[in-house]
Structure 1
Amino acid sequence: MATGASRKIYAASARSHARRASKSSSFHLPSGILRTTLAVLFIGFLAWAYQVIQPPPPNTCGSPGGPSITAPRIKLRDGRHLAYKEHGVPKHETWILRTTLAVLFIGFLAWAYQVIQPPPPNTCGSPGGPPITAPRIKLRDGRHLAYKEHGVPKHEAKYKIISVHGLSSCRHDAVVADTLSPDVVKDLGIYIVSFDRPGYGESDPDPNRTLKSIALDVEELADQLGLGSKFYVVGVSMGGQVVWNCLKHIPHRLAGAALLAPVINFWWPDLPANLTSEAYSQYKLRDQWAIRVAHYTPWLTYWWNTQKWFPSCSALSRSPDIFSKQDKELITKLLDDKDSYLVRQQGEYESVHRDINIGFSSWEYTPLDIQNPFPNNEGSVHLWQGDEDLLVHVTLQRYIVQNLPWIHYHELPGSGHLFPHADGVSETIIKSLLGVK
């Protein structure tokens, strides 16, 4: 058994020796040499690739062997040169052209500025200006306000009324005073004073006029004429806006107020957009533009309404397009007005144009903001409107009075803008205002 075991050990030892002999006979390259060889080959490849992708150096103009320089060049801030080529007229002639165009443009601007500027007012009583023929009061700021008295003497009067004229009118256009029956005036003891609003007739222009200032003019007129602590106001058309201002700024001085077809400002924010758009669209295109200019670019109002290229505001030219059937029948009473020349004698801008600008400006309040000035019914406010008025559309007027329930609203079927001139209407208006029969 020992002999068998020895043979097994010997055989295993022989096989192990044979394997070691086989391994020692194979060739091995040291690992360090292999890595070095591969690195050298890779670096060489990169150097070759870099040389391949590099562009050749530029063949700069003017350098040895480079292209010749044939164009004019300038030297830049970093030493480089920039070649150029000129075209067109010589540059000194271009400067002349630019200068000429600039001079022409400046001249055009100067001409345009002169065109749109209104002339200075031709103030009554100034050298070369219209004469002063009416009684006037001197206001707080030195301006003068011309007025005209109607009816019974004020010291005998029971009712004292201030009449406010409309656009392109004057103190002589006191419709309620002119159309009232003398018997009614005497029996009721009515005194009416009309006045030229600033810039109209013989009242001084007011370049600083505001919504409030005209109300203060009315108050000061009443005080200087001694009309007492309270008085009535009646405003026609654009004069109706003055009555709104009185209701806003001097309500404590009013015994009552009547607005006859008061002009509406489409930019009063409390009015519904659908109603203002509808009413605005019913105007003639010429009047839409005239109103738009007055609101957005008031400095163009004078030019717009005096240029001859296209039609201006219908109301200023008394175009028949703005009159209803009734208006056309009544207008004959106004065409022969011998005092019409007085209206704009101090200048169109200071009278009618400034009137339009303020009437359609951005107001700091709207009639819908006004509170009832007579909460105890000690007075009343009346608004009269014709349902066929083409200047002041009835739909907007209805909306205003619906939101001011303290206003007594009178809508006249078939009537236009000039309804106060119709027979008997002024008497009805005044009696309603005074609360008498």
Structure 2
Amino acid sequence: MLSTKDNSKLILSTEQQERHLDDLRWMAASTIKDMCEQTHSRLLIFPQSFNEYGDKLDDQRLFNIYGNTIETGNIMGFVGRNDTMIQIQSRFASSDGKDYFLHYMLQKVFAINLFDLKHLTEKESIFDFLIYLFPTFLCNAVRHGLYNEYQTRTYNDTNVRGRIDVSRHIRSNIPFKGTVAYTTREYVGDNNITQLIRHTIEYIYKHPLGNGILSNDDFTKEAVTMIREATPKYDRNARQYIINANIRPLHHPYFADYKSLQNLCLQILQHEELKHGHNKDKVYGILFDGAWLWEEYLNTFLNPFFHHPRNKLGKGKQYIFKNPLNSYCYPDFYNERIVLDAKYKGYTDWNLQRPDLYQIISYMYIMQLKFGGFIVPVENFSKPKMLNGYGGILNIYGLEVNFMQQQYNEYCTNMQKKEEILLNTIKKEFL
């Protein structure tokens, strides 16, 4: 497996080029949308809706290849094709492969309460990404109710409620036993989809983190109980049959959340098979847009002190013109005094990219705010700067995330302290 970091370069050895270059070139030439739309793709992306955050994720590429060098951007996670797998960690991962910061952001964003990752290794961390997401996907799906579908069932009893199966009746009930063989269509909750979810639940329970993940909150526990009660015919030996029965994804738009859950379950149950390239040319993996993840992570502690617009829901938009037209923008965070832009970039001084600078100034002007700023994942001691012309004050707020800790729980404790310091700094000035 190849391993690199976001916004970094990886030079491929001669052996790696001979073994993986064809698949890597295919990945580099494909947009993320292309990979997702491949037949029976097993690729999960976050955010799940293209263009949800205005970053045109569908047009992005996982990485670029120049000669024997891979150059990555803001996309993190892992993706595989045939026997080629590449893992992209956060740029803050330690030299021994422990990516505490990425795990911490994922657990905060997806509300997973874990503080013990003693077993964490490079390979296990990849699989952990998948099981972290399971409670969220499960809860999103069961909020629509238990998935039911029509199935053909055969019976031989006295309660006839379907089409009589004459040939089977003659075979089974001569001489007459008082029962009738018949076939009927029933709308049932014990089906291939719910069985797949049940197999995944039982599989996760065997993982070192499984019990904590599936007991994360009351709603998750209720959802797990619902699936277990709905699948009395569960047979642990039928796992491969159930996997094969779910190769075709759900298509009904009402069950979009069940489709995502189905995809995730297949990745979890087929993790080893996918890793060894048993499905020719099929893409699998899970990818996170670093900019999206950083923004959603910040929202876990900036809320409720700041408004956080939701592009997908159309909430919190700011109109550019007096008469509202289709021209509007979505600042990352704002309140009555300041607007903040979350940037997953290493701004340690005022060496800002021009589009970022123009964007925040535009927000300040449109919203008639005197203060604006950036929040970045690096320690920052820059002093605020005064804008020319109409005035206004810009600042860069840094959150240090790259510090050495031996244990994951120690890292979490330190991160919580640094979050509190950052929040108190902003609250002191603007709340």
TM-score (norm 2): 0.23
Structure number with greater Rg is 1
Question: Greater share of strand residues, 1 or 2?
Answer: 2
Question: Greater share of helix residues, 1 or 2?
Answer: 1
TM-score (norm 1): 0.23
